Amino acid sequence: MKEQSTSKGFAILSAATLLTKVLSLVYNPFLVWVLGSTRGFGIYSATYQIYVFIYVLTNTGIPSAISKLISEYIAVKNYRSAIKTFRISRTLLIALGILMAIIMFLFAAPITSTMGFPEAKNSVLALCPALIFTAMGSAYRGYFQGRGNMKPTAISQVLEQIINTIFSLLFAFVFIKKGIVQGVVGATVGTTLGALASSLFLMAIYEKNRHELKVRNTVNTIKHTNKQIMRKIIKYSVPITVSIGVTNAGTLIDTTNTVSRLKFGGFSSVAAQSLSGSYGLFITLIGVPIAIISALAVNILPAVSRAVALNDKKLVKRKINFALRVCFLIAIPSAVGLTVLSKQIYMLLYYNRPGYQLLIYGTIILVLMSLAQIQTSILQGLGKIYTVTIYSIIGIILKISINYVLIVRPKINIYGAIVGSVVGFLIPILLNTIYIRKRLRIKIKIISHAFKPLICSIFMGAVLWVVYNVFSTLIGFVIVGRINNAISVIIAMVAGMIAYFYSLLMINGISRDELDIIPYRLKKRIPKKLLLSRR
């Protein structure tokens, strides 16, 4: 099984992630249409916030430990310990998946009631089997990522999302006839079926390549007992689980806090749920580029761990700066593009649903959340898991406090959640940066990494605005309404991406490492003079 470079692995995972998020974007407007209101989507969002919280408690710590330990063992050619780590972790994950499914089943009613969405109880119950299948799949994903092969993870993600999209819409359409609550239950069926299909696929790939695992250790490698490996798994997985669990617990508390404060501010239960649903649509939109950054975060953790295991400080620094550069190359233009075309994108995806103003004011969250994710993975790779957890807790406390004060004000309402999120991510980012620079003595130049992408993004934003308005006017002589908007948005986005990429090349804003991410067929269309000037 061939190991891939950091840039190649990221390219594969990001392509798969982008495809799954595009499918999700196509899926969500149809789901809102099937459910008939943003209130229905609010119930759906509450359901998945509970599911995601239990999911991350189950499927983040141990898979990250698998990835980290396997990458470390393979770096020093200790293949037997790598295999043993995977087998022990797989057993632990399946057992944990079963346990968490039982817990979610027992506590579905009180949790949904506390959040202000008692209607979500049945849909939460319907997701319990998915936890078992995702736990199984996560073990294999952690294994493949630790070996530096992102292709099985990428394919499984796409397969899972395709099945999820098809069957969730199908069952939502069938069940909505019995009411909005039943419709949301139907919308969860695809998640379980997708998780099952993804797990079976990963198992098949693993079994197919098992012969590659039968590699003898070199004479000087250290043998690890099951007990030693178990201790290492717990040592790495528990802090990561706590760190990500705290973040997602903050999201759950935030949702509960948001709905209750909206009600306290004078909104009815239905209106509060609708506003929460609008915020959920906003989070879904900014989640597309964030998911690509997540693919980078997944890839950078074993890469940094491998460099640390080899005691190569220069390689550690190079991996960190590469991750930060790519983070800004994706996050900043995404934020600018969503801001400039906010109303048009909402019209394209959600027709007359409210909420595009959230996109105008809130896309800064996209950049901050992306940077926070990368810093978290970097510090986890460096073994500073408790540090990043403490900083995350500080951010969550600030976010919840600000939300509590602002959301209750009728003129601010749901926009208070944006202010809270900005502060809640910004403070941990500053603390992480100070820690990396002063304690670890690794120089990272966040402002310089962000400067050129920002300049090119501003230029791209101007191109987007001009191209959209020109084509919207011209097409308006023939076609009006949503079709005109859709064609104009697509043309503007293509023009904007070309403008952004070529402006980066012109000002030397992209290096050879970042160019490796681009598919060969696209790269060969770039003028050779521009490519030869890369550093």
Domain boundary among 419, 444, 469: 444
- Average pLDDT estimate for 157-183: 90
pLDDT band at 214; cut points 50, 70, 90: low
Q: Considering only the C-alpha atoms of the chain, give the largest distance between any 2 of them, rounded to a whole number of Å.
A: 77
- Chain center to CA of 110: 28
Q: Who has greater pLDDT, 465 or 151? A: 465
Grade residue 296 by pLDDT with cuts at 50, 70 and 90.
low
Q: Would 87 be classed as within a structural domain?
A: yes
Predicted pLDDT at 48: 86
395: domain range?
6-444
Considering the domain boundaries, does residue 10 fall inside one? yes
Q: What is the mean pLDDT of residues 140-151?
A: 82
pLDDT of residue 75: 76
Residues 179-207: what's their mean pLDDT? 91
User: In the chain, what percentage of residues exceed pLDDT 70?
Assistant: 85
Tell me the pTM.
Answer: 0.73
pLDDT of residue 514: 58
298-353 confidence digits (pLDDT tens): 666 666 767 776 777 787 788 788 888 888 988 999 999 999 999 898 888 765 56
Residue 405 lies in a domain: yes
Residue 213: pLDDT above 70? no
Average pLDDT value for the chain: 82
Q: What is the pLDDT of residues 474-516, one digit of tens each?
A: 998 888 888 898 899 999 999 999 999 889 888 887 766 656 5
Q: 428 and 458 share a domain?
A: no
Q: What's residue 135's pLDDT?
A: 93
Instruction: Flag whether 263 is in a domain.
Output: yes
135 vs 49: which has the higher pLDDT: 135
% of residues, the chain, pLDDT over 90: 27
Q: Could you give the CA distance from residue 514 to residue 511 in angstroms, rounded to a whole number?
A: 5
Report for 284-298, 394-408, 452-466: range of highest mean pLDDT: 452-466
Tell me, yes or no, whether 381 lies in a domain: yes
Helices 226-264, 385-406: inter-axial angle, 10-degree rounding: 10
pLDDT surpassing 90 at residue 216:
no
Q: Do residue 312 and residue 438 come from a single domain?
A: yes
Report the pLDDT value the prediction gives residue 65, as an integer from 0 to 100.
Answer: 82
Pick from 47, 19, 353: nearest CA to 187 = 47
Tell me how crowded residue 216 is: count the other CB atoms within 10 A of its CB. 9
User: Per the domain annotation, does 498 fall within a domain?
Assistant: yes
User: Same structural domain for residues 382 and 466?
Assistant: no
Residue 468 has pLDDT above 90, yes or no: yes
Question: Would the pLDDT of 431 be above 90?
Answer: yes
Q: Are residues 67 and 173 in the same domain?
A: yes
Please write the tens of the pLDDT for every residue from 234-273.
Answer: 887 887 787 777 777 777 777 778 888 888 888 888 888 7
Residue 51 has pLDDT above 80, yes or no: yes
Assess whether 379 and 504 both reside in one domain.
Answer: no
State how many domains the chain has: 2
Residues 466 and 317 in one domain: no
Same structural domain for residues 348 and 495?
A: no
* Size of the chain in residues: 535
Q: What is the pLDDT of residues 405-426, one digit of tens each?
A: 999 998 888 899 899 999 999 9
- Position 1 in a domain: no
Whether residues 97 and 205 fall in one domain: yes
Residues 403 and 485 in one domain: no
The answer as to whether 18 is a domain residue is: yes
Q: Are 54 and 97 in contact (CB under 8 A)?
A: no
- Do 312 and 353 fall within a single domain? yes
Query: Using a CB cutoff of 8 Å and minimum separation of 24, what contacts does 7-10 make?
Result: 7/322, 7/513, 7/514, 7/516, 7/517, 8/516, 8/517, 9/148, 9/149, 9/150, 9/299, 9/303, 10/150, 10/295, 10/296, 10/299, 10/300, 10/326, 10/517
Do 481 and 405 fall into the same domain?
A: no
Residue 76 clears pLDDT 80, i.e. is over it: no
Collapsing DSSP to helix, strand or coil, 208 comes out as helix
Question: Given 399, 428, 444, which residue is the final one in a domain?
Answer: 444
Question: What pLDDT is recorded for position 489?
Answer: 93
Under the banding of pLDDT at 50, 70 and 90, the label for residue 471 is: very high
Give pLDDT, residue 275. 83
382 and 351 within one domain:
yes
* Domain end among 387, 410, 444: 444
